[in-house]
């Protein structure tokens, strides 16, 4: 049995800089606020009919532990009859949460589910409490560079000499400019759930926009930044995503259930795929995962009219685009900017891509198919192909 899985809606908190806006806010409270915001703006959703909740976190300890999929659901006010669980595929956690519940929906086990992710990188620095098996390095299963994401990005520059630092900086600048333009038009704010935060100096406040974007970025400023992962390297804080705090949540359903309840349909899931690559060049992961997903769907890259590629590093996005013969500044790619500007709170980012793609679908009915894709630590990539429910015929 296989049924069509649809994205009904998705929202997120604003993303804060690590140790800044949400320094005194718990990770689970960020997620709870996002969940409540999603429910509030979907009054036709009977919360007692939600069949499951899948929540991702890359670090599942402290305020991101205790099976946050279940604990946050209870705290958000879902009935105690609604179960929940936790997911971990590092950066692709929320993407995996979405594909996991999609599998449940497609086989008929459930009809409605919440899927999302949270990462409070201020409370949980990358690698916190990790204990890598010594054999990883002693038996040369991976190179030491594989354990540091910035070092893997430098390795990607090594592999593709045509991707220069100037190219990466240019891509990063464009991400900032596209984000600034989207903010000026009010396009990003509409899917942000204003979130309370407390500052010891200012007291309580409401965070309603992302903290990371730097609209005054220039090529000269980017060129002057240090390269912390390698002397004379190419990866900087300017052409990489930030260290952030934030949460995302999506509502997925069977197409029949969505129609029965009068819920909107923002995208239809076609298929998805995950793939592995050498951990030392983990940023290349979206290439094989996209090749795999396209093959499953019986599509080619020419059939894709909209791309949301997570910008962990500029070099990683450019490597993906170069493989598929897509220009660095192709208008189909990340039209609202990306993680280089707004941030990348690890496990939450997959749903942010879905939010943006759904908005592109609304405004481009000539586009039939789009993808959300991202690289994943220790050498993986994940890709989901979506169909535009507003498609009216046209080029793709």
Q: Domain-by-domain residue ranges, the chain?
A: 5-124+242-386
Choose the catalytic residue: 157, 344, 364, 390. Answer: 344
Structure-token pair, residue 306? 């909209």
- 16-17 and 244-254 strand pairing: antiparallel
390 belongs to the catalytic site: no
Q: What is the pLDDT of residue 199?
A: 85
Share of residues in the chain with pLDDT > 90 (%): 95
157 belongs to the catalytic site: no
Choose the catalytic residue: 91, 120, 124, 157. Answer: 91
Contact between residue 118 and residue 347 where contact means Cβ atoms under 8 Å apart:
yes
Distance CA 90, CA 378 (A): 9
Q: What is the pLDDT of residue 6?
A: 99
Q: What is the pLDDT of residue 200?
A: 83
- How many degrees, rounded to 5, is the angle at CA 146 between CA 144 and CA 152? 120
Distance CA 375, CA 306 (A): 18
**5-124+242-386 CATH fold:** Peroxisomal Thiolase; Chain A, domain 1 (3.40.47)
Residues ≥6 apart with Cβ < 8 Å to 393:
366
Structure-token pair, residue 336? 């609202």
Choose the catalytic residue: 120, 124, 364, 375. Answer: 375
Q: Which residues of the chain have a pLDDT value below 50?
A: none
φ and ψ at residue 255, rounded to 5 degrees = -60, -40
Quickly tell me which residue has 């592995």 as its tokens. Answer: 276
Neighbours of 10 (CB within 10 A): 29
Contact between residue 66 and residue 25 where contact means Cβ atoms under 8 Å apart:
no
**What pTM does this model have?**
0.98
Contact between residue 277 and residue 377 where contact means Cβ atoms under 8 Å apart:
no
Structure-token pair, residue 323? 């493989």
> Distance of CA 331 to CAs 198, 321, 335, Å?
38, 12, 6
The sign of the CA dihedral 94, 95, 97, 98 is: positive
Distance CA 391, CA 396 (A): 9
3-state secondary structure (DSSP) of residue 29: helix
β partners of residue 275: 381
Chain-centroid distance, C-alpha 37: 18
The sign of the CA dihedral 26, 374, 9, 81 is: negative
Contact between residue 69 and residue 101 where contact means Cβ atoms under 8 Å apart:
no
The sign of the CA dihedral 221, 226, 228, 232 is: positive
Residues ≥6 apart with Cβ < 8 Å to 219:
166, 169, 170, 173
Q: What is the pLDDT of residue 149?
A: 96
Give me the count of residues in the chain.
396
Contact between residue 247 and residue 197 where contact means Cβ atoms under 8 Å apart:
no
Q: What is the pLDDT of residue 395?
A: 60
């Amino acid at each position: 049995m296989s049924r069509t899985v649809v994205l009904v809606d998705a929202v997120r908190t604003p993303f804060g800089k690590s140790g800044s806006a949400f320094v005194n806010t718990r990770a689970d409270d960020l997620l709870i606020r996002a969940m409540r915001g999603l429910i509030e703006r979907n009054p036709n959703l009977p919360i007692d009919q939600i069949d499951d909740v899948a929540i991702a976190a890359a670090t599942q300890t402290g305020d991101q532990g205790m099976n946050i999929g279940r604990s946050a659901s209870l705290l958000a006010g879902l009935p105690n009859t609604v179960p929940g669980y936790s997911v971990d595929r590092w950066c692709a956690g929320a993407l995996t949460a979405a594909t996991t519940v999609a599998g449940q929906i497609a086989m008929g086990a459930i009809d409605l589910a919440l899927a999302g992710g949270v990462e409070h990188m201020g409370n949980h620095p990358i690698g916190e409490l990790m204990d890598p098996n010594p054999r990883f390095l002693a038996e040369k299963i991976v190179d030491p560079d594989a354990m540091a994401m910035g070092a893997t990005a430098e390795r990607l520059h090594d592999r593709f000499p045509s991707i220069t630092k100037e190219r990466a900086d240019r891509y990063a600048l464009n991400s900032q400019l596209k984000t600034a333009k989207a903010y000026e038009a009010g396009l990003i704010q509409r899917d942000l759930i204003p979130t309370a935060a407390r500052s010891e100096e200012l007291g309580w406040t409401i965070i309603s926009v992302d903290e990371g974007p730097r609209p005054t970025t220039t090529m000269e400023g980017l060129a002057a930044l240090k390269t912390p992962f390698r002397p004379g390297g190419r990866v900087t804080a300017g052409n990489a995503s930030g260290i952030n705090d934030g949460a995302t949540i999506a509502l997925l359903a069977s197409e029949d259930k969505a129609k029965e309840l009068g819920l909107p349909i923002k995208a239809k899931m076609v298929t998805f795929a995950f793939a592995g690559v050498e951990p030392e060049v983990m940023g290349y992961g979206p290439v094989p995962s996209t090749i795999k997903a396209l093959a499953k769907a019986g599509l080619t890259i020419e059939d894709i009219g909209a791309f949301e590629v997570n910008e962990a590093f500029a070099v990683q996005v450019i490597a993906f685009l170069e493989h598929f013969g897509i220009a660095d500044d192709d208008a189909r790619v990340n039209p609202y900017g990306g993680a280089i500007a707004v941030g990348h709170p690890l496990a939450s980012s997959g749903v942010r891509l879905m939010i943006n793609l759904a908005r592109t679908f609304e405004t481009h009915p000539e586009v039939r198919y789009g993808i959300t894709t991202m690289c994943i630590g220790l050498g993986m990539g994940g890709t989901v192909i979506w169909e535009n429910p507003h498609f009216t015929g046209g080029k793709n």
